[in-house]
Amino acid sequence: MKIAFLDLSTWDYKIESAYQIPLGGSQSALCYLAENLAEQGHEIFLLNGTKTAGRSRGVSCLPLDDNDDIRQLFRSLDAAIVLNQAGWGKKLKPLLGYATKLFLWTQQVPSLKAMQALGDRAELDAYDRLIFVSNWQRDRFLDSFAIDREKTVVLRNAIAPAFANLFPEQTDILAAKTNPPILAYTSTPFRGLDLLLSIFPKIREAIPGTRLQVFSSKKVYQMATELDESVYGILYQKCRQMEGVEYIGSIPQPQLAEKLRSIAMLAYANTFEETSCIAVVEAMASGCFVVTSELAALPETTAGFGHLVSVEGVEGFSSVRDWQFSQRPDWQNYADRFLEKTVQVLRNWQSEESASLLKKQVEYIQKQCTWTVRSREWVRYLEKICGINERKNPEVVRAIDREVRGQLQQGNSGEAIARCQRAIAQYPQSAILYKSLGNALQTQGKIDAAIRAYAKAIELDPNFAEARANLGSMYYQKRQLTMAIKFYKQAIELEPNLTGVYWNLSKVLEENGQLEEAKIYRDRAVERSVE
What are the tens digits of pLDDT across the range 359-392? 999 999 998 999 999 999 999 899 989 987 666 6
Res 112 pLDDT > 90: yes
> What are residue 377's phi and psi, to 5 degrees?
-65, -40
Q: Residue type for 332, please?
A: Q
Q: How far apart (Å, rounded) are the C-alpha atoms in residues 288 and 172?
A: 13
Res 243 pLDDT > 80: yes
C-alpha triplet 123, 128, 132: angle, nearest 5°: 90
> What are residue 501's phi and psi, to 5 degrees?
-70, -35
As a whole number, the mean pLDDT across the chain is: 94
pLDDT of the residue at 387: 83
In the predicted model, what is the mean pLDDT of residues 61-87?
93
Q: How far apart (Å, rounded) are the C-alpha atoms in residues 521 and 107?
A: 36
Q: Give the model's confidence band at 520: pLDDT under 50 very low, under 70 low, under 90 confident, else very high.
A: confident
The pTM of this model reads 0.81
| Residue of 133, 123, 27 whose CA lies nearest to 83 | 27
pLDDT of the residue at 531: 56
Residue 161: Cβ within 10 Å count: 18
pLDDT of the residue at 530: 63
Q: How far apart (Å, rounded) are the C-alpha atoms in residues 452 and 448?
A: 6
In the predicted model, what is the mean pLDDT of residues 476-493?
93
What are the tens digits of pLDDT across the range 42-52? 999 999 999 99
Where does residue 181 rank: exposed (0-12), middle (13-18), buried (19+ CB within 10 A)? buried
Q: Are the beta carbons of 288 and 264 closer than 8 angstroms?
A: yes
pLDDT of the residue at 91: 94
pLDDT of the residue at 371: 96
Strand partners of residue 3: 44, 79
> Where is average pLDDT lowest: 29-43, 51-65, 357-371, 515-529?
515-529
pLDDT of the residue at 344: 97
| Residue of 498, 463, 466 whose CA lies nearest to 379 | 463
Element (H, E) at 4: strand 2-6
In the predicted model, what is the mean pLDDT of residues 510-526?
90
Res 526 pLDDT > 90: no
The CATH homologous superfamily of the domain defined by 463-531? Tetratricopeptide repeat domain (1.25.40.10)
pLDDT of the residue at 247: 97
Q: Give the model's confidence band at 398: pLDDT under 50 very low, under 70 low, under 90 confident, else very high.
A: confident
**Domain over 161-369 is classified CATH 3.40.50.2000:** yes
Q: Are the beta carbons of 480 and 457 closer than 8 angstroms?
A: no
Fold of 2-154: Rossmann fold (3.40.50)
pLDDT of the residue at 70: 92
pLDDT of the residue at 392: 66
Residue 446: Cβ within 10 Å count: 16
Higher pLDDT: 187 or 322? It is 187
| Residue of 494, 483, 397 whose CA lies nearest to 437 | 397
All residues at 6 or more sequence positions from 228 whose CB lies less than 8 Å from its CB, including other chains: 217, 218, 219
All residues at 6 or more sequence positions from 271 whose CB lies less than 8 Å from its CB, including other chains: 191, 192, 194, 195, 293, 314, 317, 318, 323, 325, 331
> What are residue 105's phi and psi, to 5 degrees?
-110, 110
pLDDT of the residue at 390: 66
Strand partners of residue 309: 293
| Residue of 244, 177, 175 whose CA lies nearest to 210 | 244
% of the chain at pLDDT higher than 70: 99
Res 241 pLDDT > 80: yes
pLDDT of the residue at 396: 87
Cis status of the peptide bond prior to 110, with omega within 30 of 0: no
What are the start and end residues of each CATH 1.25.40.10 domain in the chain?
393-453, 463-531
Helices 499-511 and 465-477: crossing angle, nearest 10°? 30
What are the tens digits of pLDDT across the range 316-344? 898 888 888 888 888 999 999 999 999 99
Q: What share of the chain is helix, strand, coil (3-state, %, to 5)?
A: 55, 10, 35
pLDDT of the residue at 505: 95
> What are residue 60's phi and psi, to 5 degrees?
-85, 115
Q: How far apart (Å, rounded) are the C-alpha atoms in residues 360 and 169?
A: 11
Fold of 393-453: 1.25.40
Q: How far apart (Å, rounded) are the C-alpha atoms in residues 525 and 531?
A: 10
What are the start and end residues of each CATH 3.40.50.2000 domain in the chain?
2-154, 161-369
pLDDT of the residue at 63: 95
Dihedral sign from CA coordinates of 102, 105, 108, 114: negative
Where does residue 312 rank: exposed (0-12), middle (13-18), buried (19+ CB within 10 A)? exposed
Q: How far apart (Å, rounded) are the C-alpha atoms in residues 57 and 258?
A: 22
Res 509 pLDDT > 70: yes
Res 4 pLDDT > 90: yes
